[in-house]
Chain A
Amino acid sequence: MSIIPVSAETPIPPRFRAPRRRLSSYIQRLRSGDEIAHLITLAFAAAVVLITVLLVYELWTHSALPRQRFGWRFLVTSTWDPVLENFGALPFIFGTLVTSAVSLGLALPLGVGAAIFLAELAPPRISQRLAFVIELLAAVPSVILGLLGIFLLVPFLRTEVEPVLKATLGFLPLFQGQIYGIGLLAASVILTIMIIPFIISISREVLLAVPVDQREAALALGATRWEATWRVVVPYAKTGIYGSIFLALARALGETMAVTMVIGNDPRISSSLFAPGYTIAAVIANEFTEATGNLYLQSLIELGLVLFLVTIIINALARVLIVVTTRRGTGHP
């Protein structure tokens, strides 16, 4: 219509923005299929958002009964009595926190140590192969680790490890009491095996993202390999390593099968790691199909909601920390 080409900066006079023209261009785009392709992919992208909203909505509405009945008391009382319909989640929260904390304590030095070795000290070829093997470890289904836990780890803990711990460190309340094999310690060890791959592979990535000149500068000043790593590279990547720890923590909190199979499933709070315990995920797995009555079922769903909220918050934190570090490291803002 207009003969003079209109550049983007020139404001278009109103009379040139005739509706017919916009409509025709829309029809043209429609005919070429672009608009349809856009709308179809948009619909599926929107479906992802909808599913997430639905997930939160379902968890929230299906846990309304215990929220009204118990309120915040649900989180801090420790009776779990399906017969009298009195539910408190404290023993499960306790078990979840203890197993996660112990497994983090075990996995952290091992995982970060291995990541440092793979990223900084090992020759690249060996590093790549080992990292590949460790990623495979992350792919082992949790139920299989539980199977090995029952038949390999638990007997080993019962006959070899726990008696020794009791004899040498028995003065601590952590290592007292009857030895069963199953219990908080067994669950923690299984969790350690499950979260180490995450700590290693993410810490390794974060360490690899540290700029090379940081290392060169330290080495040029006469630092040994280890000093350059420990005093320069690791502090640089610290935030990202924290991120990997939080990610591992979120995994540990939500892990179900392997823990359910070796923890003993006994809702009590004990100071000893040898004692059987229970976690939030395990009680949902064990009792969900047996839950009679709405209040019982909804109490289990409220436990799921608690687990959901905690893991989501920790996950978000982990992602932020990792993104901050890798972006800073590679120099792309």
Chain B
Amino acid sequence: MNSRLGWRKFVNAFMLTLTGLCALLSVSVLLIVLGYLAWNGWQYLTWTFLTHLPAPVGESGGGMANAIVGSAKLLLIAAITGIPTGLLGGIYLAEFGGRTFSFLVRYSADLLNGVPSIVMGIFAYTVVVLPMHHFSALAGGLALGVMLIPIVLRSTEDFLRAVPNPLREGALALGASKWKAIATIVIPASIRAIATGALLGLARVAGETAPLLFTSFNNQFWSHGLNQPTASLPVMIYQYAISPYPDWHRQAWAAGFILLMLVLIANVGARLILSRKSPALR
């Protein structure tokens, strides 16, 4: 009897350690990723890298200023198209929606959310690039915007639903119309959470590469307007990483470092803001 208890205690301790090791291993992967990238990226990060155009093939030096601006441009288009659609759709689901149609909207959003990013690229290609006969910033931005919609929509709906009902009832009791109650009471009460949700979505699409390969394509020079191929950080990292030139590899590290820092800062910041909110709005 005693030896059996000892065995059970041993199994208990053993499995506790084993699962702990699993968690430790998973976390250490992140530390390796961060550490190695920071070590390499920081070394190669120079002022020239941030302010110059890419050097012609074979020449050393040069930078990725056009890709940094291009990424910002793509994200801006994505934000302009994706955030309002997701936001207003989310308001509809949380405040106005009926049964059947809301189900359809939610189902569509989940479907969009599950679409592999490369397929989203094909979609933007057939809808924008084929009719306009141009790889363009517009096509890339729209591809990212469509990926943003389900993220913003679902987070908006969740956060609006977390706003306590007495707030709405109070506003209505004071004689406000429904939309006034929503616009002046419900949305301000959850605006920080909704904004961080949108920020998280932007951080996620900022690192997407696959949908840009054949929508915004790439460009070694400045791109003007929305109807030209446009460089972006993720695509540059990809092309420089698979190139045979050591100088380009170094620039890929530097670009990877910048991209990862942006994504992580956005994530940590958003989550810190969210966790400071009341638990009801998490």
**B84 interface residue (CB < 8 Å to A):** yes
User: Does A44 make an interface contact (CB < 8 A)?
Assistant: yes
Report yes or no: A109 in contact with B178, Cβ–Cβ below 8 A: no
Q: Quick one: which of A135-185 are within 8 Å of B by CB?
A: 135-137, 139-148, 150-152
Q: Residue A21 at the B interface, CB < 8 A?
A: no
User: Which B86-101 residues sit within 8 Å CB-CB of chain A?
Assistant: 86-89, 91-93, 95-97, 101
From A41, A145, A151, B89 is in contact (CB under 8 Å) with A41
Count how many chain A residues have C-beta atoms less than 8 Å from C-beta atoms of the other chain. Answer: 85
Q: By the criterion CB–CB under 8 Å, are B111 and A312 in contact?
A: yes
User: What is the chain A residue whose CB lies nearest that of B126?
Assistant: A58
Asked if B37 and A49 sit within 8 Å, CB to CB, the answer is no
Q: How far is the CA of A137 from the CA of B87 in the complex (A)?
A: 27
- Shortest CB-to-CB span from B157 to chain A, Å, is 10
Known: A41-B95, A254-B116. A143 touches B238 (CB 8 A): yes
Once A41-B96, A45-B101, A304-B118 are accepted as A-B contacts, the answer to whether A109 and B22 lie under 8 Å apart by CB is: yes
Q: Which one of A221-229, A269-277, A324-332 is at the interface?
A: A221-229
CA distance A308 to B237 in the complex (A): 26
For A224, what are the chain B residues with a Cβ–Cβ distance below 8 Å? 8-9, 11-12
Question: In the complex, what distance in Å separates the CA atom of A38 from the CA atom of B85?
Answer: 14
Interface residue ranges, A against B (CB under 8 Å): 32-34, 36-38, 40-49, 51-55, 58-59, 62, 109-111, 113-114, 116-118, 121-122, 130, 132-137, 139-148, 150-152, 193, 196-197, 200, 224-227, 230, 250, 253-257, 261, 281, 284-285, 288-289, 300-301, 304, 307-308, 311-312, 315-316, 319
Can you list 15 A-B contacts (CB < 8 A)?
A33-B179, A43-B88, A44-B84, A44-B87, A114-B22, A136-B30, A142-B207, A143-B238, A147-B237, A152-B36, A193-B33, A226-B15, A256-B117, A257-B209, A307-B119
What distance in Å separates the Cβ of A26 from its nearest Cβ neighbour in chain B? 14
Given contacts A109-B22, A116-B19, contact A285 B118 (CB under 8 A): yes
Bound together, the chains give a CA A224 to CA B88 distance in angstroms of 51
The 7 closest A-B pairs by CB, nearest first: A141-B207, A254-B116, A113-B22, A315-B114, A41-B92, A37-B179, A117-B19
Chain B 29-44 interface mask (CB, 8 Å, partner A; 1/0): 1100100110000000
Counting chain A CB atoms within 10 Å of each CB, the highest count among B29, B182, B204, B217 belongs to: B29
Taking CB atoms, residues of chain B closer than 8 Å to A53 are 108
Q: Is the CB of B213 within 8 A of A285?
A: yes
Beyond the given A136-B268, A225-B12, A225-B16, could you list 9 further A-B residue pairs with CB under 8 A, ordered by the A residue number? Answer: A45-B89, A62-B122, A114-B26, A137-B27, A139-B264, A148-B37, A200-B23, A226-B16, A256-B118
Partner of A32, one of B89, B91, B177: B177
When C-beta atoms are compared, the residue in chain A nearest to B210 turns out to be: A256
